[in-house]
Amino acid sequence: MPKRFRLTRRFTVGMTEDAYRRLRRFASEAGLEEGEALSFLFENFDSVTRSDNLTARLRLFTAELDERKK
């Protein structure tokens, strides 16, 4: 029997406009609501990311973060 899908945690999220648009597009293409799409991504994080790409992208993002906050 599949696990029951319950949204048990709610939290305020700060996102860039680009990230939010991408989340909405992904959710729409997958036929999900935004919260469902986030749940899917994080429940399946290891299988939907490539660890070598993730490390490189994270390094670039953090290097630009201070500048982007200004």
- The residue type of 60 is L
What integer is the mean pLDDT of 19-36?
Answer: 95
pTM of the model: 0.77
Residue 12's CB: how many other CB atoms inside 10 A?
A: 4
Per-residue pLDDT reduced to its tens digit, 28-52 = 999 999 999 999 999 999 999 998 8
Q: Show the tokens assigned to 5.
A: 């899908």
In 3D, which of 32, 23, 30, 28 has the Cα closest to residue 5?
32
Q: Taking a C-beta distance cutoff of 8 angstroms, is the pair 21, 32 a contact?
A: no
